[in-house]
Amino acid sequence: MYIVVDDRQIVTSGYVASFKREGVSSIGLYSSEFSEWLESASDTDMEAIQGFVLGSFEQRASYAESIRRHSKAPIIALSEVRSLEETLELFTAKFDDVVRKPVHVREILARSEAVWRRVNASLNKSSQTDNDRLKVFFDGRDPEVDGIPLALPRRERHILEYLVRKKGHRLTKKQIFDAVYGLYSDDVEDSVVEGHISKLRKKLRQRLGYDPIDAKRYIGYSYTGAVS
């Protein structure tokens, strides 16, 4: 899930719609709303956030440090004009990337993943897992098994990406739902996650010859990777 912050509704609604077309959940907030949300959000809420996209608003530079106190997710600034001074200011203020508008959300997703790989190298050293048999790309492409694409519906792909990113951690159905469908989605029951994961596990077993997702009833799911 992505958080888009800008004081112009046309900007936030435009990016939220673009993320939705890519099958990625997001919400748009005004800067004042975001400040309040950041201080009240729970640790579980923060775990669902895959990236922050900040447009133009007053005091934007000060927000990155506040975000970093709560989350390790990539912080990307949208730049309205080409300005070396502004870019340097934003990087100094601990933004992870600065992107010139207009920009397609698929580029934002790719840049966000590049930041994840760099900053969280100990958790996700590359897009490759399971001794290079399974490759997960995080940028809209289907994963590959032994170099051959494994076509997945977008929800199943996003679930796999989230589990791989959190490899070794036990994730509840609610955590997965929040990351894939969004924190404030009330038009879908979180039980739908069970169906998606069941189908995903079956496809992975067929291609890998084993199940890389460990499921424990009432506890949750964990991506364990290759069999030992």
Strands 128-129 vs 97-100: parallel, antiparallel or unpaired = unpaired
Q: Tell me the average pLDDT across 143-153.
A: 93
Distance separating alpha carbons of residues 10 and 30, to the nearest angstrom: 11
Grade residue 199 by pLDDT with cuts at 50, 70 and 90: very high
**Beta carbons of 173 and 193 less than 8 angstroms apart:** yes
Q: What is the pLDDT of residues 122-147, one digit of tens each?
A: 544 444 555 568 999 887 789 999 99
**Beta carbons of 30 and 55 less than 8 angstroms apart:** no
Q: What is the pLDDT of residues 62-83, one digit of tens each?
A: 999 999 989 989 999 999 888 8
Tell which CATH classification among 1.10.10.10, 2.130.10.10, 3.40.50.720, 1.10.357.10 matches the domain 128-223. Answer: 1.10.10.10
Residue 39 above 50 pLDDT? yes
Residue extents of the structural domains in the chain: 2-119, 128-223
Mean of the per-residue pLDDT values of the chain = 87
Q: What is the pLDDT of residues 166-181, one digit of tens each?
A: 888 899 888 888 888 8
Q: Which two tokens stand for residue 128?
A: 């490759």
Query: Architecture of domain 2-119 in CATH?
Result: 3-Layer(aba) Sandwich (3.40)
First to last CA, the chain: 32
Angle in degrees, 0-180, between the axes of helices 105-119 and 9-21, rounded to the nearest 10: 80
Nearest CA to 55 among 39, 31, 35, 32?
31
Grade residue 228 by pLDDT with cuts at 50, 70 and 90: very low
pLDDT of residue 227: 56
pLDDT of residue 133: 86
pLDDT of residue 119: 67
pLDDT of residue 98: 94
Residue 56 above 80 pLDDT? yes
Does this model's pTM top 0.75? My answer is no
